[in-house]
Amino acid sequence: MAKILIVEDNALNIKLFCDLLAAHGHQPEAVTDSRNALAAAREFGPDLVITDIQLPHVSGLDLIRLIRKDDQLAKVPIMAVTAYSARGDEERIRAAGAQAYVSKPISVVRFAQTVDELLQGEAEPAGESEAGLATEDDGGGGGGPSEAGGEEA
Ligand code: MN
């Protein structure tokens, strides 16, 4: 079981993500107002943060940067969920410090698989996105050449 903070302003997506995570045995907590997200994350102590990018007030990109700069949260993996589809957007999201990116409408399988990978520390570290851009279809099967990451928390 992992504690997973969801930052999302859309109620239907919150329900979908929470149901999905709970069905996988996790403990989700949702924040709808991104202005409260950093404080909520500090209090909740999540193993993973899932954030929407298109958020009112504090954007998902800014929130990712804030989390990365926070002493307590800097190493928590972040998964961005966004309707953006342009390649430049993914680069910006990864450069801001998110380890994974899933586009909406989400594939339930890909969503769950990405959550598992992040919790197991298999995702590429943040900030190495230049090398990571070639790994677009890493969603297949899960039997890929997973690197033996020493970053497991
Ligand atoms: Mn949104």
Cβ neighbours of 99 (radius 10 Å): 27
CA of 51 to the centre of ligand 1 (A): 9
CA of 83 to the centre of ligand 1 (A): 8
CA of 81 to the centre of ligand 1 (A): 9
CATH of span 3-125: 3.40.50.2300
Greatest Cα pair distance in the chain: 39
Q: How far apart are CA 8 and CA 130, in angstroms?
A: 27
Q: What is the pLDDT of residue 63?
A: 98
Instruction: For the chain, 153 residues long, give each residue's pLDDT as a single digit of tens.
Output: 999 999 999 999 999 999 999 999 999 999 999 999 999 999 999 999 999 999 999 999 999 999 999 999 999 999 999 986 677 888 999 999 999 999 999 999 999 999 999 999 876 555 544 444 444 444 444 444 444 444 444
CA of 82 to the centre of ligand 1 (A): 8
Q: What residues contact residue 96 under an 8 Å CB cut-off, 6+ apart?
A: 61, 64, 65, 68
